[in-house]
Amino acid sequence: MSPYLLGLRLSGRRVLVVGGGRVAQRRVPALLEAGALVTIVSTSVTHALDDLIASGRVTWEARPYQVGDVDGAWLVQACTDDRAVNTAIAAEAEAKRIWCVRADDRDASAAWTPASGRVGEIGVAISAGGDPRRAAGIRDAVVEALRDGTVEARRNRTKPVGVALVGGGPGDPGLITVRGRQLLAQADVVIADRLAPQGLLDELSPDVELIDAAKIPYGRYMAQERINELIVEHAKQGKFVVRLKGGDPFVFGRGGEEMLACAREGIPVTVVPGITSPVAVPAAAGVPVTHRGVSQEFHVISVHVPPGDPASTVDWPNLARSAGTLILMMAVERIAVIAETLIYEGRSPETPVMVVQDGTLPTQRALYATLSTVAERVTAAGIRPPAIVIVGDVVKVGQEVEMVRAERIP
């Protein structure tokens, strides 16, 4: 007969676990997450269970199972490695009409523990005829589908409200956070930047309104004020709005301005941080922004205005004197004056430089240079935005890694 699936609300209710081995170690955390009052009866326990006991979250009776242990329990887990003991526990629980799960014999067990998972407020429990491996495989597939939006998640009674400022990461659609992808799958309106992962937009449901808020360098441009208006306008209509950005909303993403615009209108805002390109793109190109003995600091600089411009707030003399790594954003069109300024203010002309275009995407390419040659090489290679410029000796670390790898290739 097929089991009758039921969700038990165990908060404040006693659950008995007999046995302190690996099976108990897997099951106790889930019971605690459900709020159960867990008692373990076992002569010994694993290190992980011992840690839970030491923290006071679990009661441990360090002895063998005794008749009467199941009294007062709402649920019993028989997890010993002794079949006779598990049989005795199950028999006592059956006589006292207490549900018991046997870890050693699914056919003799009154109840089965499903393979479970959670994505946000959605709980998934899979029973596969008592086959735990098969159930776990199906559970993993369902959970992954919920996370990436493959399974429809928009039509529910507890749909998010207001606005979500979601960082989409540096470009590769697989680098958006799980939370960001969940909220994107539930959106009514998506207002997307040019640098937002474009592959994710293709996955949106046909009834989602997609608004292009691209800011193309020296080209088509949607003013930030208009973007703020659109966010507020749609949210006030009761729609759930996702503002999808490249990188992180608060790293040169003007997310603070959008959050303030919503706050002034009383619109709730959820912020989902994203993997920021100043760190991710160098990493994708094999360059660590810090490295022991090389650089203990890194500086992220927006060069939307060049050195010497009255609107610039960047302290170029201090940056030039620093031994730290410089990560320059929006710098390709101004690379010549940047290099000249850094050299003039004290950086060696031989300082290594790497320029990475389309970081994390299939079209990614990297260019090595020095401060004295980078402007000429960028022009010759036809490097265009989006690109990240890395200045500092950490570039040599990336080159060293490539050399070591090349030497190991037969």
Q: How far from chain centre, in Å, is Cα 127?
A: 28
What sign results for the dihedral spanned by CA atoms 193, 198, 200, 202? positive
List all residues 6 or more positions away from 253 whose beta carbon is below 8 Å from its beta carbon: 167, 193, 245, 246, 247
d(CA 332, CA 96): 76
Distance separating the N- and C-terminal Cα atoms of the chain: 59
Contact by Cβ (8 Å): 86, 80: yes
What sign results for the dihedral spanned by CA atoms 196, 197, 199, 201? negative
Instruction: Report residue 340 as tokens.
Output: 């000249």
Contact by Cβ (8 Å): 50, 110: no
- Reported as type and span, the H/E element at residue 148 is none
Strands 365-370 vs 352-357: parallel, antiparallel or unpaired: antiparallel
Half-sphere exposure of 203 (CA within 13 A, CB side): 21
The catalytic residue positions are 193, 215
How is residue 162 annotated by DSSP?
A: S
